[in-house]
């Protein structure tokens, strides 16, 4: 079923009884050409582009819970392409272009909203770093704009400009940045993949990876063994655990990132704002809730929930940036498991096992990468060649030290990425 204004009208006039399920609920077959482990944003977009771009449709996405139950349904939905270093720049630039055509491509409203993202700076040194970053973005062909303090006073008057410790001096804005509705992205890709013949199999946990003589043969699951010629591991925070099933030890630590949402209030924040000093970012959802987050919890964990010290830290940063936020009541908070790499950049690569591929290490920035990651990973799995915009996301850079992309210059400090 295609969505259109006419269809909405027709359904509205006939009691909304004719809508069909967005995707089927098939039982797993015994054999597939490709198995994708993980029904998050990246797994589903990989399956979609395998089918759409490469005509590979005998594909199963195996998800241990329900699709979207992982990070893709838990993030603060910021979409941007404001990276500074080669490797990341071209990849996120490509991904943002895919976002811009995503709704017609999927025939699905993912509520992509290019409301602009503003990264605030608070010191001369930070301004210089942002100028360099802005120039790199423009060289890449993306938009970047340096805003003065006066510009910001007009655009975002609710900020505390004269905070004694972190006065707001200006900002770097990307107008094409913004947000999207995370669940809708999951559903849109799932529907698009299903329509092309992909089996989306929920409540199916992968418990083992079958390998014979260095070649992948399939997987063991809670719903039985399934054979496949190619297997992609796309499980974000669980990457180290699933790769261990194939005897691999990944350069990834899993950490918790929390997010918070307030009660709905009248429209107040019409951009995405990121506090350059406090690692705090905020936007307002279409329902009116202020959606915000901050740093990682400072210890490795597979718990899908955070702890109170970081909640306090995030609230403090919010109060320092915009004291009025103290009047809003926090309605909910939650956590997701982040797959942190030592250089803060991802991995899209083959492994040493023939037919086994890895898409991981998205840290806390992988929502905006959903289209680009799926596109590039599908290309790699289908053709065996790296897709140019993601060609530098190699696994062996952590072994050789060559080609590391330390975007923030923070080195291998998990809590400073």
Ligand X SMILES: Cc1cc2nc3c(=O)[nH]c(=O)nc-3n(C[C@H](O)[C@H](O)[C@H](O)COP(=O)(O)OP(=O)(O)OC[C@H]3O[C@@H](n4cnc5c(N)ncnc54)[C@H](O)[C@@H]3O)c2cc1C
Binding stretches for ligand X (CB under 6 A): 37-43, 62-65, 69-72, 74-78, 205-206, 234-238, 242, 257-259, 293, 336, 362, 364-368
Nearest approach in angstroms of CB 147 to ligand X is 21
Closer by beta carbon to ligand X, 163 or else 180: 180
CB-based closest residue to ligand X: 40
Least CB distance to ligand X at residue 71 (A)? 4
Least distance CB 402 / ligand X (angstroms): 25
What's the closest the beta carbon of residue 394 comes to ligand X, in angstroms? 19
Write down the least CB distance from residue 111 to ligand X, Å: 14
Nearest residue (CB) to ligand X, 74 versus 112: 74
To ligand X, the closest distance from the beta carbon of 417 in angstroms equals 12
Phi, psi of 371 (to 5 degrees): -65, -45
Considering beta carbons, is residue 169 or 393 the nearer one to ligand X? 393
The least distance separating ligand X from the CB of residue 345, rounded to whole angstroms, comes to 12
Q: HEC profile for the chain?
A: CCCCHHHHHHHHHCCCCCCCCCCCCCCCCCEEEEEEECCCHHHHHHHHHHHHHHCCCCEEEECCCCCCCCHHHCCCCEECCCCCCCCHHHHHHHHHHHHHCHHHHHCCCCCCECCCEEEEECCHHHHHHHHHHHHHHHHCCCCCEEEEHHHHHHHCCCCCCCCCCCCCCEEEEECCCEECCHHHHHHHHHHHHHHCCCEEECCCCEEEEEEECCEEEEEEECCEEEEEEEEEECCHHHHHHHHHCCCCCCCCEEEEEEEEEEEECCCCCCCEEEECCCCEEEEECCCCEEEEEEEEEEEECCCCCCCHHHHHHHHHHHHHHCHHHHHCCEEEEEEEEEEECCCCCCEEEECCCECEEEEECCCCCCCCCHHHHHHHHHHHHHHCCCCHHHCCCCCCHHHHCCCCCCCCCCCCCHHHC
CB of 399 to ligand X, least distance (A): 23
Which residue, 75 or 126, has its beta carbon nearer to ligand X? 75
Shorter beta-carbon distance to ligand X: residue 169 or 271: 271
Minimum CB distance to ligand X smaller for 355 or for 374: 374
The residue among 77 and 88 lying less far from ligand X, judged by its C-beta, is 77
Q: Which is nearer to ligand X, 40 or 278 (by Cβ)?
A: 40
């Amino acid at each position: 079923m295609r969505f259109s204004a006419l269809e909405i009208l027709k359904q509205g006039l006939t009691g909304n009884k004719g809508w069909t399920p967005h995707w089927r609920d098939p039982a797993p077959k015994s054999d597939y050409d490709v198995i994708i482990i993980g029904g998050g944003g990246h797994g589903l977009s990989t399956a979609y582009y395998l089918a759409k771009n490469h005509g590979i449709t005998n594909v199963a996405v195996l998800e241990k819970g329900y699709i979207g139950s992982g990070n893709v349904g838990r993030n603060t939905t910021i979409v941007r392409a404001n990276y500074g270093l080669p490797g990341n720049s071209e990849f996120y630039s490509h991904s943002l272009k895919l976002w811009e055509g995503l709704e017609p491509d999927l025939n699905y409203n993912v509520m992509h909203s290019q409301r602009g993202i503003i990264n605030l700076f608070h010191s001369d040194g930070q301004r210089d770093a942002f100028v360099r970053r802005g120039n790199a973005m423009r060289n890449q062909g993306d938009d970047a704009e340096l805003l003065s303090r006066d510009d910001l006073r007009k655009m975002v008057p609710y900020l505390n400009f004269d905070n004694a410790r972190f006065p707001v001096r200006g900002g770097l804005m990307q107008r094409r940045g913004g947000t999207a509705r995370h669940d809708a992205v999951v559903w849109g890709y799932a529907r698009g993949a299903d329509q092309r013949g992909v089996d989306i199999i929920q409540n199916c946990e992968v418990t083992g990876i079958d390998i014979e003589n260095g070649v992948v043969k399939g997987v063991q699951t809670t719903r039985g063994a399934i054979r496949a010629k190619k297997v992609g591991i796309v499980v974000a925070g669980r990457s180290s655990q699933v790769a261990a099933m194939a005897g691999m030890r990944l350069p990834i630590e899993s950490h918790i990132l929390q997010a918070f949402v307030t009660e709905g209030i009248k429209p107040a924040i019409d951009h995405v704002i990121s506090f350059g000093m406090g690692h705090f970012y905020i936007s307002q959802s279409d329902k009116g809730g202020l959606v915000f987050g901050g740093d990682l919890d400072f210890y490795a964990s597979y718990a899908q929930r955070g702890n109170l010290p970081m909640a306090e830290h995030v609230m403090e940063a919010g109060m320092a940036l915009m004291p009025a936020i103290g009047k809003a009541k926090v309605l909910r908070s939650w956590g997701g498991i982040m797959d942190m790499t030592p250089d803060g950049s991802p991995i899209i690569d083959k492994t040493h096992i023939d037919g086994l591929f890895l898409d991981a290490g998205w840290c806390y920035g992988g929502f905006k990468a959903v289209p680009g990651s799926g596109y590039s990973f599908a290309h790699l799995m289908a053709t065996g060649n790296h897709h140019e915009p993601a060609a530098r996301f190699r696994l062996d850079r952590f072994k050789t030290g060559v080609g590391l992309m330390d975007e923030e210059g923070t080195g291998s400090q998990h809590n400073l990425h």
